[in-house]
C-alpha cells in the first residue's frame, strides 16, 4: 500500500493521519474535507486505502461508504469519535474493512493496515 485517501472535515485529524502514514512509507496521501471531494478523489485517483470519518458536513459517512464501495476497490477504514455499537454494525454492513476510534495512535493505524495487507495477500 502506497497511496491513501483521507476524508475528514477536521484539518488536524487529516494532518495527524498524514504524518502517521508518511512514517509507514506511503508515498501519496490525498485528503478531502468533505464527502463530495472525497468521492471524486476515490473515483479519479488511484488509492490503495481510504480513511473515512463518519461525521462529514455534506453527507453521513455510512452513505458515503456505500458510494465508495461502488466507485473504487480500495478498502475503506472508518475513523470516528462516535464509537457506538450501531455505528460499528452499520459500517461493517456497508463494507468497512476496519474501524478506528478517535483519538488514535500510530500503532492502531499500523495494526489495521497490517490486517488489510494480510487479507489481500491471502486473497491473491
What CATH number does the domain containing 113 carry? 3.40.50.2300
Residue whose C-alpha is closest to residue 96's, from 55, 47, 49, 58: 49
Q: How many domains does the chain have?
A: 1
**pLDDT in tens for each of the 124 residues of the chain?**
799 999 999 999 999 999 999 999 899 999 999 999 999 999 999 999 999 999 999 999 999 999 999 999 999 999 988 777 888 899 999 999 999 998 888 999 999 999 998 886 654 4
- The residues near 4 (Cβ < 8 Å, ≥ 6 apart) are 21, 26, 28, 29, 30, 47, 48, 49, 50, 51
Strands (E), 12-103: 28-32, 49-53, 76-80, 98-101
User: Is residue 96 a contact partner of residue 77, using CB atoms and an 8 Å limit?
Assistant: yes
Longest pairwise C-alpha distance within the chain? 37
Distance of alpha carbon 80 from alpha carbon 65, whole angstroms:
13
Which residues span the domain enclosing 11?
3-123
Cell of 82: 462516535
Entry pTM: 0.92
Amino acid at each position: 500500500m502506497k497511496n491513501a485517501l483521507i476524508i475528514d472535515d477536521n484539518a488536524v485529524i487529516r494532518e495527524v493521519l498524514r504524518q502517521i502514514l508518511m512514517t509507514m512509507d506511503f508515498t501519496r496521501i490525498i485528503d478531502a474535507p468533505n464527502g463530495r471531494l472525497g468521492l471524486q478523489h476515490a473515483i479519479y485517483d488511484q488509492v490503495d486505502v481510504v480513511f473515512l470519518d463518519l461525521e462529514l458536513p455534506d453527507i453521513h459517512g455510512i452513505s458515503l461508504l456505500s458510494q465508495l464501495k461502488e466507485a473504487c476497490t480500495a478498502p475503506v477504514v472508518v475513523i470516528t469519535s462516535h464509537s457506538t455499537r450501531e455505528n460499528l454494525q452499520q459500517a461493517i454492513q456497508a463494507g468497512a474493512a476496519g474501524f478506528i476510534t478517535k483519538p488514535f495512535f500510530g500503532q492502531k493505524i499500523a495494526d489495521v493496515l497490517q490486517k488489510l495487507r494480510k487479507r489481500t495477500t491471502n486473497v491473491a
